[in-house]
Amino acid sequence: MQQCFRFTEDSRQVLLRLCYSTLTFKGSSMEDTDKLNLEEMLMCPVCQDTFKDPRQLSCGHTICMVCLENMMDHSSDGPFRCPDCRESFGPIVEVQKSYALANIVEHFRVIKRRRQEEQTTNVYCDCCPEEKTLAFKTCLKCEVSLCKEHVKDHLELLVFTGHPLVSPLGDLLERKCPHHEDKVLRYYCNASMRYICNVCTLESKQHNLATEASSVLRRQLTEYMDQRFEMLKAQIAESRDNLQKEILRQKQRVIPAASPLNSVTVVLLFLWFIVLYYAYNYSVENQMLTEALEKQQNRVHHVYSTIEELLVGHPMKRHKPLETGEATGDDLIEHWNGNVS
């Protein structure tokens, strides 16, 4: 169960000093244990991580604000309980922000992050295993990092003549040649834009000779391809001209054959217009005849109507019939006038 702390100003200062000394003190066997204890003291019992926006319950225990909200959302069916002491609270949980603990956690994070950055950037002497002494040089041949005290042998003894000393390197494996595992990267190749070893340097010289030979072959091949390209261009141009001439001849052959067809088409169209003209005249004459016939019929009808009216007003006497059995309307009128007179 997490211990219950009510931070006062004095306890805050003590814990801050403990935090700083734990993360900055070197060479003590108690360092890892003290650091672990401090991390446990600043750990949320819910998320098992360093406090984020710590809030203190009325029972004295502290949890993150986000963890508190999540627990209250999932405890809607029952009373809220402290995750450490299991003390139950009413529907309203009184909490207050622990500003002292929040400042301690923030200082702990800053110092821890700074310590991690120092561990990743600093290179220590490989000959000082008990103390972490900063390295002064790294020997690429011995593959060790040396402090100012241990590098003296490399600078003074003749046996170490030819051992390249460079600035401290954190990871010598990064300086191993990927093509020759027993060699270390020492030189920078401008052509390949990468670091190379001694063997790569010799291979690079041979590569340069091969590159020169390949350049000559490439130039000769380019000249040959250019000549072939010009020849192909000339052949293509000649073939295009011949094709255009052939197309023109074919067009000239097709045009005379098409002329009679055009003449026949014109004649047919002319005849068709003539037929349409006569059809139109026939329809007009037919309409005129129809109108004249209708006028003649109206005239005859009018004559008969007049005769009927006269017969009704003057009864006819008995007269001898006409010699002919058929008579026209004009004959009847003349016969009628004679009888009346």
Q: How far apart are CA 23 and CA 62, in angstroms?
A: 23
For residues 48 and 108, state if they share a domain: yes
Residue 47: which domain range?
Answer: 9-121
Out of 92, 121, 150, a domain closes at: 121
Residue with the bigger pLDDT between 64 and 207: it is 64
Distance separating alpha carbons of residues 99 and 78, to the nearest angstrom:
30
Rounded to 5 degrees, φ, ψ at 124 are -105, 160
Q: What's the chain's average pLDDT?
A: 72
62 touches 98 (CB < 8 A): yes
Same domain for 193 and 160, yes or no, is yes
Give the confidence band of 147 by pLDDT, cuts at 50, 70, 90.
very high
What is the per-residue pLDDT for 11? Answer: 46
Task: Give mean pLDDT, residues 241-257.
Answer: 74
- Residue 332 lies inside a defined structural domain of this protein: no
Model pLDDT, residue 49: 84
18 shares its domain with 89: yes
The residue behind tokens 């020759």 is: 180
Summarize pLDDT for 72-130 with one digit per residue, the tens.
777 666 677 788 888 877 666 777 887 888 888 888 888 877 776 665 567 888 888 77
Q: Is it the case that residue 317 has pLDDT exceeding 60?
A: no
Question: Does residue 46 sit within a domain?
Answer: yes
List the single range of 33-37, 38-42, 71-75, 106-110 with lowest mean pLDDT. 33-37
For residue 227, pLDDT over 80 is answered with yes
One domain for residues 78 and 18:
yes
Looking at the domain assignment, is residue 225 inside a domain?
no
- Three-state secondary structure of 16-47: HHHHHHHHHCCCCCCHHHHHHHHHHHCECCCC
Identify whether residues 58 and 160 lie together within a single domain: no
Mean pLDDT, to the nearest integer, of 239-244? Answer: 80
Q: Does the structure show a pLDDT above 80 at 245? A: yes
Is the whole model's pTM more than 0.85, yes or no? no
Band (pLDDT 50/70/90 cuts) for residue 29 is very low
Residue 24 sits in the same domain as residue 62: yes
At position 78, the amino acid (one-letter code) is G
Question: Do 85 and 24 share a structural domain?
Answer: yes
Q: What is the pLDDT of residue 260?
A: 56
289 in a domain, yes or no? no
38 and 107 belong to one structural domain: yes
SS3 labels along the chain: CCCCCCCCHHHHHHHHHHHHHHHHCCCCCCHHHHHHHHHHHCECCCCCCECCCEEEECCCCEEEHHHHHHHHHHCCCCCEECCCCCCEECCCCCEEECHHHHHHHHHHHHHHHHHHHHHHHCCECCCCCCCCCECCEEECCCCEEECCCCCHHHHHCHHHCCCCEECCCCCHHHHECCCCCCCECCEEECCCCEEECHHHHHHHHHHHHHHHHHHHHHHHHHHHHHHHHHHHHHHHHHHHHHHHHHHHHHHHHHHHHHHHHHHHHHHHHHHHHHHHHHHHHHHHHHHHHHHHHHHHHHHHHHHHHHHHHHHHHCCCCCCCCCCCCCCCHHHHHHHHHHHHC
114 and 144 fall within a common domain: no
> For the segment 165-180, what is each residue's pLDDT rounded down to a tens digit?
888 877 666 667 777 7
Query: Which of residues 177, 199, 221 is at a domain's end?
Result: 199
Q: Is the pLDDT of residue 26 over 50?
A: no
**Between residues 262 and 242, the one the model is more confident about:** 242
Q: Tell whether 16 is covered by a domain.
A: yes
Residue 38 is assigned to a structural domain of this protein: yes
Domain count, the chain: 2
Percentage above 90 pLDDT, the chain: 1
Q: What's the pLDDT score for residue 251?
A: 75
Please report whether residue 195 resides in a domain: yes
CATH number where 93 lies? 3.30.40.10
* Bridge-based pairing state of the strands 95-97 and 137-139: unpaired
* pLDDT, tens only, 273-289: 787 877 777 777 777 87
The answer to whether residues 27 and 117 belong to one domain is yes
- For the stretch 49-70, pLDDT in tens is 888 888 888 788 888 888 888 8
Instruction: Assess whether 110 and 143 both reside in one domain.
Output: no
In this structure, the answer to whether residues 65 and 35 fall within a common structural domain is yes
More confident residue, 315 or 65: 65
Indicate whether 176 belongs to any domain: yes
Q: Give the pLDDT mean for 12-37.
A: 51
Final residue in a domain of this structure, among 157, 176, 199: 199
Confidence (pLDDT) at 234:
82
Considering only CA atoms, which of 12, 1, 10 is closest in space to residue 98?
12
Residue 46: per-residue pLDDT: 85
